Amino acid sequence: MIKGNIIVNGDAGKFMAANKQKGMILAKKGRPIPPAEEKTLSIDDRNLLLGYGFNPNGFRKLE
C-alpha cells in the first residue's frame, strides 16, 4: 500500500488510486478507482505543485 502524498506527472492516476491507503495523489491524468474519489484542487494543493516545479493546470486530486 502507498501511504502519504504522491505527485504523478503523467497517466498513473488509476494505478496509484487503486493502491493508495492514506494521503492524497495529485495526478496529471487518470480516473479514480474506488474507494478513491476525485476532488477539487485547493490553494494549498496548487502551491504544493508549484513548489515542486509543476504547473497545477490539468492536475487532479485523488483521495
Instruction: Give the global pTM.
Output: 0.65
Strands (E), the chain: 2-3, 6-8, 20-22, 25-27, 38-39, 60-62
Domain spans of the chain? 2-62
Structure confidence at residue 59 as a pLDDT band (50, 70, 90): confident
Query: For the chain, give me the number of helices (H) and strands (E)?
Result: 2, 6
Q: What digits encode the pLDDT tens for the residues 1-36?
A: 556 666 766 666 566 656 666 667 777 776 666 666
